[in-house]
Structure 1
Amino acid sequence: MATTTKSKSTGESKAHSDQKTALSWNNGNTGVLVGAAVAGAAVGLAANAGRKLFMQFGNVTAGDWFEALKMEHEMALAIFDKIEATDDSQTMMRSHLLTKLKHALSKHAAEEEMVIYPALRQAGHGGQADHLNSDHGMVKTYLYELETMSNDNPAWLAKVRAFRGEIEEHMREEEQTIFPPFRAQLSDEENSKLTTMMNKEGFKHA
């Protein structure tokens, strides 16, 4: 009888130990699954943060808001190059590249509309700020039209090329006419602050 009692006690102790091992969950497998889910969520968050940092890397390394914007202009034109290299049968590729272009231009526009153009206006160049902001309306119109058109015919690619022509003129005006004297008007401290603010805004849209 004593032996039987000892065996029962040992069994209860083992059951209690198993229950504690499962982190007090009713089912040991549940604890494992929850742990895996938490780990997966952590990896997902880390990956997302890494993606944002990667998207912002160009801005940070440039160290100057004007140089960063010029870099983003070049990146957008590189996407245009890829789109123009497609043929009418590559509809999936065209859709993918248009999505990339839309994201790049949307992030870029947010940086300018929320930081650079207001600063330009504050510095006494309200007319230029309004003009550049109006150009962004043209950009949004082209993106909408390209998204709603069938992209398997030459008319779609012709509109892409017309869009590129318009946006290149906008970029040249910013890079050669408006932004250089504006940057020169600001102190080093003001330019540094503008860079920080622009990077922060871009991070939201990365």
Structure 2
Amino acid sequence: MVSTLDDTKRNAIASKLASIKLVQQLLIENEELFLRESTDSEISDRIRNFLEDDRKNLGIIETVIVQYGIQQEPKQTVQQMVEQVRKLMQGSELSFYEKVSQHELLKHQQVMSGLLVHKAAQKVGADVMAAIGPINPVNFENRAHQEQLKGILEILGVRELTGQNADQGIWARVQDAIAAFSGAVGSAVTQSSDKQDMNIQDVIRLDHNKVNILFTELLQSNDPQKIQEYFGQIYKDLTAHAEAEEEVVYPRVRSFYGEGDTQELYDEQAEMKRLLNQIKGISPSTSEFKDRIRNLMDIVGDHVRQEESTMFAAIRNNLNTQQSEQLATEFKAAKAKIQQRLGGTATGANI
């Protein structure tokens, strides 16, 4: 019986990711509310931009959680905090300035949570770093939003206290914040996404990178328990990935990728699953175990090369951006359901 990676550090990161997702959903709710309450066209335009970014970033966070492969609930304290803030935002006790001020604090919390997950991943494992990597642009974008919100708060605060518009110099600070973060930092991070969601090629490539790292970590380890745990994660990741592709991706691409090439992908994954189940019955302390793992790596490597070359090219040539992003959404949803069926939480889950 091979167990999945089950140390408490990985579960703690999973819970933090769930909390980040919950707060992100609250940020979106707040911004939708602000658009209804705002009477300033420039501030409304800025909030509209925040909302567009945050909706995209929610999709990235959901991708990271599925890629990570461990499902946890948000911390109870975070759930309680979100409910309290939601009630305040929907009520009439706070002024518009005070609501935006609370929102800026949430942005700060989101930045810190994202950075902590990144730093923790560096200590836990390279496969975790690969899984949570896409959250880094979200961290930078939230930081940029936070700077812009400070300028907006000055504008709203002056109006609340004096009933007059703030000096244009204050609004210029908002523009400076935008320029700073869309320049040195934004050019490498926020603009690289071009306001688009991940397409199916991006999501599949993330899976490929993570499992390659897991293979490397397994082969470098001499601890039978760690080897067993790494294989448990490989088993779950490859199984969920393969079944989601067979359910969502391959039927979609068959018409333009070709019957023969698509069937080859099905056949390769059938062989991969057969090997996974064979390896499951072998003791990780034997040399045979790693020999079979290397055999599995070769099969997976050939499969990956075919997908990332010819299948990806066929997708680019036959699906538009919206179709490719929609396929990614369907793939992630299917994979999340499969992970739950396989035992997506790390606590005491066995294969």
Give TM-score, length-normalised by structure 1: 0.69
Offset, 1:48: 11
Who is 2:267 aligned against? 134
Offset, 1:82: 0.8
Who is 2:66 aligned against? 56
Structure 1 residues 26-175: aligned runs within 5 Å: 47=15, 50=18, 53=62, 54-56=64-66, 63-87=198-222, 90-123=223-256, 125-175=258-308
Maintained 8 Å contact 2:257/2:311: no
Maintained 8 Å contact 1:63/1:195: yes
Offset, 1:179: 2.0
Unaligned runs of 5+ in 2: 1-13, 22-61, 68-130, 136-196, 340-351
Offset, 1:181: 2.1
For residue 324 of structure 2, the aligned residue among 191, 195, 201 is 191
After superposition, the Cα gap between the structure-2 partners of 1:156 and 1:176, relative to the gap in structure 1 and judged at 3 Å, is: same
Offset, 1:185: 1.1
Deviations 1:105-130, CA, capped at 9 Å, x for gaps: 11211221111100011336222211
Moved >3 Å (runs of 4+): 46-49, 51-54, 57-62
Code of the aligned partner of 2:276: L
Maintained 8 Å contact 2:200/2:328: yes
After superposition, the Cα gap between the structure-2 partners of 1:66 and 1:186, relative to the gap in structure 1 and judged at 3 Å, is: same
Deviations 1:48-105, CA, capped at 9 Å, x for gaps: 9929945226698761111110111000000000110122xx2211111111001111
How far apart, in 2, do the equivalents of 1:197 and 1:122 lie?
A: 18
Maintained 8 Å contact 2:198/2:328: yes
Maintained 8 Å contact 2:256/2:314: no
Offset, 1:178: 2.0
Deviations 1:141-173, CA, capped at 9 Å, x for gaps: 111111111221212111111111111011001
How far apart, in 2, do the equivalents of 1:117 and 1:201 lie?
A: 13
Superposition RMSD in Å: 2.6
Higher helix share: 1
Maintained 8 Å contact 1:120/1:126: no
Offset, 1:197: 1.1
How far apart, in 2, do the equivalents of 1:56 and 1:155 lie?
A: 31
Q: Percent identity?
A: 19
Q: Which has the larger radius of gyration?
A: 1
Is residue 203 from structure 1 mapped to residue 336 from structure 2 by the alignment?
yes
Unaligned runs of 5+ in 1: 1-45
How far apart, in 1, do the equivalents of 2:207 and 2:15 lie?
A: 23
Maintained 8 Å contact 1:110/1:202: yes
Who is 1:181 aligned against? 314
How far apart, in 2, do the equivalents of 1:154 and 1:204 lie?
A: 35
Maintained 8 Å contact 2:199/2:321: no
Code of the aligned partner of 2:229: H
How far apart, in 2, do the equivalents of 1:76 and 1:49 lie?
A: 20
Q: Secondary structure at the residue paired with 1:68?
A: helix
